[in-house]
Structure 1
Amino acid sequence: MSDRRDGQVLIFDADDTLWENNALFERVIDDFLEWVAHPTLDHGEIRLILNDIERANVVTHGYGSAIFLRSLADCLSRLRERPATEAERQRIEELAVALVQRRVELVPGVADTLAELGRRHRLLLLTKGDTEEQQRKIDASGLGHHFGSTHIVPEKDVAVYRHLATEQGLDLSITWMIGNSPKSDILPARSAGMNAVYIPDPYPWALERAEIDPADKLVLTLSTFPELLLHF
C-alpha cells in the first residue's frame, strides 16, 4: 500500500495490540514453573502440559484471568497426581495477583496514533475474552473514546468478522483488521474478505500462533503500532 487513503475502516484488536497482555501472563508462568520444581520434568516439559490444559480450558470455559488461574491449578493437579490443596490454590493466586489487579500498560505510541487515525478513518474495537474483564481494561486504558463502537466476543472466528461486517455495513475493500494474532486477527479477517495489518507481538501466546501466507498482498506487516500512520 503506497498511498494513504482517507475514509477507511480500521478494526483494532485490544490485548497485545493496544496494551501489554501476554508478557504479563508469561511472567506469572515463569514464577509458577519455578515454584512447581518438579523432580523429573523440566520447565519446557511442564509448559507443554500447561499449553494442553489451557487449550482444553479455552474451548470449554473461554478466556480471561480466572480461566488462566484454573489452568495453573489443573496443571499442578496433574503434576501432583491429586487435586490442588487450598493452600496451593492460594499460592497460585498470590503468584498471579499482579496480573489480576494490574493497571493497563499501553503499547508505546498507541494513544497518539489512535488520535491521529481517528481524524481520517472510522475506528472500531474488536476484542475477545470475558466481557467484564475486557471492559475493565478498556475503561482503564482511557482509549474507549477513540472507537465508534466496541465489540467484546467470546471468540474471534470467521463468523464473527462476517457478522460485524454485516451489522456495521462495512465495505470490505476498505476495511482493515489490525492485530497481533495470526489465528484470531489476521486469518479469520482475511477469510471474511477484509484486509489485515499484522503487528507481531514479541511474546506470542502459543495458542495464537498460525502461519500467514507470505504471498498474501492484502496483509500488511508492521514492526510497531505508530507505523500505521505511514499507511493510513
Structure 2
Amino acid sequence: MATQLSTIGFDADDTLWQNERFFRMTEERFTMLLSDHGEAGDISRRLLEAERRNLSIYGFGIKGFTLSMIETAIEVTEGRVPADTIKEILAAGREMLKHPIETLPHAHETLGALSNAYRIVLITKGDLFDQERKLAQSGLGDYFDAIEIVSDKTPATYARIFARHGDGADRAMMVGNSLKSDVVPAIEAGSWGVHVPHPLTWALEHAEPPVGSPRFRAIDDLGLLPGLIEELA
C-alpha cells in the first residue's frame, strides 16, 4: 500500500510547467510560413511524420523539433524553400528556447507539501540544457532530492531511477501528464502511476489508460495528489 511509499517521481513538461502550448504556437507559425505550399493540416501531418522519424536521431525537445521543421519545409517545397524561411524557422526555435517558464497550478504547494515526507525526484526527457534552464527558471528546484534527465522513459528507466534514489519501484510513484511516458512504463516497472491530464498532449504521447492496473490512478490536477496519497494509505 502507499504507506510503504518512499519516493515520488514527477514529470516536468506539462506536469509542472507549460510546454506543449509553445510547440503548438510555433507549429501554427510554421504552417503559415509554408501556406503557399499546402494546407495547414497537411503540413502539420508531414511535420509529425518527420518528428516520428527523427526521434531516434535527435531525441525529444526543441532542437529536434526545429530540425524536423526544416526537413519538412524542404520536403513540402520540393527543395525550393527560401533561405529567409529557414532563417525564420531557426528564429522560432531560438524563441522557444528563451521563452519564460510558466508553472502550472498547484505545482509549488504540492511539491512543498510532499517534499518533507518523501524523496522527490524530477524525471524528464528532452534536451539537457533546455530542461536545466526550465528547472532553474521555474523556482521548483529546491524541492527535488534528485534530477534525472533521460533520453526516453521505459520500465527499465524507472526501475533504475527508483532503485538509485529510493527503495525500488514497488515503493515509488510516478506522476505525469503523459500516459505513454509517465504512467504506463512506471506501472510496468512496478510503481504507482498517477495521470494528471493536460489540455494539450503531443500526438506521439497518446496511449490508452491502464484502467485494469491496481496501481493506476488519475486526478484532475496536482493539488489533489496529497489527498490521493492519504487515501491510499
Is 1:121 paired with 2:115?
Answer: no
Listed one character per residue, the Cα deviations across residues 57-116 of structure 1 (whole Å, up to 9, x for unaligned) are 111111221111111111111100106443211111333443121111100121111111
Q: Which residue of 2 aligns with 1:111?
A: 108
Look up the SS of the partner of 1:17 in the other structure.
Answer: coil
Q: Which residue of 2 aligns with 1:139?
A: 136
Look up the SS of the partner of 2:175 in the other structure.
Answer: strand
Look up the SS of the partner of 2:213 in the other structure.
Answer: coil
- Poorly superposed stretches of 4+, deviation over 6 Å: none
The Cα shift of 1:169 comes to 4.3
Q: Which residue of 2 aligns with 1:185?
A: 182
Look up the SS of the partner of 1:197 in the other structure.
Answer: strand
Q: Which residue of 1 aligns with 2:51?
A: 54
In the alignment of these two chains, the number of paired residues is: 229
In the superposition, the TM-score normalised over structure 1's length comes to: 0.92
Is 1:14 paired with 2:8?
Answer: no
Q: Decide which of 145, 150, 154 is 1:153's aligned counterpart.
A: 150
Q: Distance in 1 between matches of 2:159 and 2:168?
A: 11
In the superposition, the TM-score normalised over structure 2's length comes to: 0.91
Q: Decide which of 25, 28, 33 is 1:27's aligned counterpart.
A: 25
Q: Distance in 1 between matches of 2:64 and 2:187?
A: 29
Look up the SS of the partner of 2:173 in the other structure.
Answer: strand
The Cα shift of 1:7 comes to 5.4
Amino acid paired to 1:79: V
Listed one character per residue, the Cα deviations across residues 156-207 of structure 1 (whole Å, up to 9, x for unaligned) are 1122112112323424333100011111111111111111100111110011
Which structure has the highest helix share of the two? 2
The Cα shift of 1:5 comes to 4.2
The Cα shift of 1:227 comes to 1.0
Comparing 162-171 with 205-214, greater Cα deviation is found at: 162-171
Q: Which residue of 1 aligns with 2:160?
A: 163
Q: Distance in 2 between matches of 1:120 and 1:36?
A: 52
Change (3 A) 1:122 1:169: closer
Amino acid paired to 1:12: F
* Aligned-residue CA RMSD (Å): 1.8
Amino acid paired to 1:167: R
Comparing 161-170 with 58-67, greater Cα deviation is found at: 161-170
